Amino acid sequence: MWGVLCVRVRGCSVLRGAVGVCRRSLVNLVKAQLRAGAGESPARGCAQAAGRSLSEPRYRLLFFGSDDFAVESLKRLHQSRGDGALVDLLEVVTLSNSVPVQKYAEQHELRVHNWPDVDFSGQFDVGVVVSFGCLLKEHVISRFPYGILNIHPSLLPRWRGPAPVFHTVLHGDALTGVSIMQIRPKRFDVGPILSQELYPVPEKITAEELGASLAVLGAQLLIDTLRNLPERIANKREQSKEGATFAPKVNSSMSCLVWEEQTCAEIDQLYRALGYRIPLRTMWMGRPIKLLDFVGRSQPCMTGSHCAAVPGSLFYQKELNTLLVCCKDGWVGFRTIKLKKKLSAADFYNGYLHHSVNNRQFQSYRERPTGHSTTPLLLNTGVH
């Protein structure tokens, strides 16, 4: 698996180690070290310099965001407005008029700035950036006395980059979480950590489901961080140079199946990471086809020539109305196949496979990740 180094949870403790262990052992180890952790000492200097008390902080806040992941945090900030509340002033910066953050802001009568035409005359105390996609420069960051905070859905430095939730599911991580950091002007996701919250990854969860859960967790952690912001800034820590991994943008080439190289578990993880947005793809008789309604690892009931199956071999499981495909270490099943139109496994078998044994094999779909054949796709994974 992977190592978790120096993970701070709600500013209370530090975790070191957890390398190469199973899902349950890793989660238990995390919980045990959290219980043994020591709390941080309060820091009052930043609060006194800003003329605010630690018990009743109030912030003039500028929010940068775009997608549904960002909306969850904007909702919590909007709920924290009002007399004596955490947020005194809340304004929003978006990239276009059609994004979810823009729609939410207009519905709730929040002032909206369209990037890069931002009016900073409001003299904001702190900025928050969630799924914004633009690198903010030093002259922007320096306008905020408390800096600009970013909510990132991973345990940094693991999965820096634009698609951390996708890569968490794709690589079968047992543990993930949310990081709150101060941004820096020249690179994404390298700033000092103020807060982190752990989240054990449920088995069989999709990237879409995980992203929604982390959006809620991130919004909660943001509010907690703002309530203790001077203390968190005083106790911030630089990211470790060890354990850093990159989560590049999702693109269509990632949906291509290579039957002789991918295991049942890897295909399952790929489908849960990507299949809800981009169908998995393979080749059949020189034609690209899409595989839908994945049912997971399956065991065919077969005799004779099927026993010598090679990767890509096909077997129709009539009892389950499922088309099974042989991969590196077993068989996986799909209930729907898309050629020109969607076909059930039964229709595909009866129409194309039943009368011939020569066409009962898929070929691996290899598409180079460079050139015009690949279309980058940035999913709603809540970054930057």
For 214-231, the pLDDT digits (tens) are 999 999 999 999 999 999
Residue-level pLDDT at 56: 59
The answer to whether the beta carbons of residues 323 and 333 sit under 8 Å apart is yes
Mean pLDDT score, 282-309:
85
* Comma-separated ranges of CATH 3.10.25.10 domains in the chain: 257-353
- The pTM assigned to this predicted structure is 0.82
Residues 6+ apart with CB under 8 A from 93: 62, 63, 64, 65, 112, 113, 114, 115, 118, 132
Query: What CA dihedral angle connects 169, 204, 284 and 348, to 10 degrees?
Result: -150
Residue 237 dihedral angles phi and psi, to the nearest 5°: -135, 145
Q: How far apart are CA 194 and CA 118, in angstroms?
A: 26
The answer to whether the beta carbons of residues 200 and 22 sit under 8 Å apart is no
Mean pLDDT for the chain overall: 84
Helix (H) or strand (E) holding 60: strand 59-65
CATH of segment(s) 7-234: 3.40.50.170
Q: How far apart are CA 343 and CA 347, in angstroms?
A: 6
The answer to whether the beta carbons of residues 380 and 69 sit under 8 Å apart is yes
Q: How far apart are CA 384 and CA 153, in angstroms?
A: 10
Residue-level pLDDT at 302: 67
Helix (H) or strand (E) holding 179: strand 175-182
Torsional class of 281: left (φ above 0), alpha (ψ -120 to 50), beta (otherwise): beta
Amino acid at 151: I
For domain 257-353, the question of CATH label 3.40.30.160 is answered with: no
Answer yes or no: is pLDDT of 32 > 50.
Answer: no
Per the model's pLDDT, the better-predicted residue between 64 and 340 turns out to be 64
Burial 343-373 (b: 16+ CB within 10 A, else e): bebeebbeebbeeeeeebbbbebebeeeeee
Q: At what angle do helices 207-227 and 68-79 cross, to 10 degrees?
A: 30
pLDDT in tens, 158-189: 999 999 999 999 999 999 999 999 999 989 99
pLDDT in tens, 35-55: 333 333 333 344 444 444 445
pLDDT in tens, 71-89: 999 999 999 997 678 999 9
Give how far the C-alpha of residue 27 lies from the chain's centroid of Cα atoms, to the nearest Å: 19
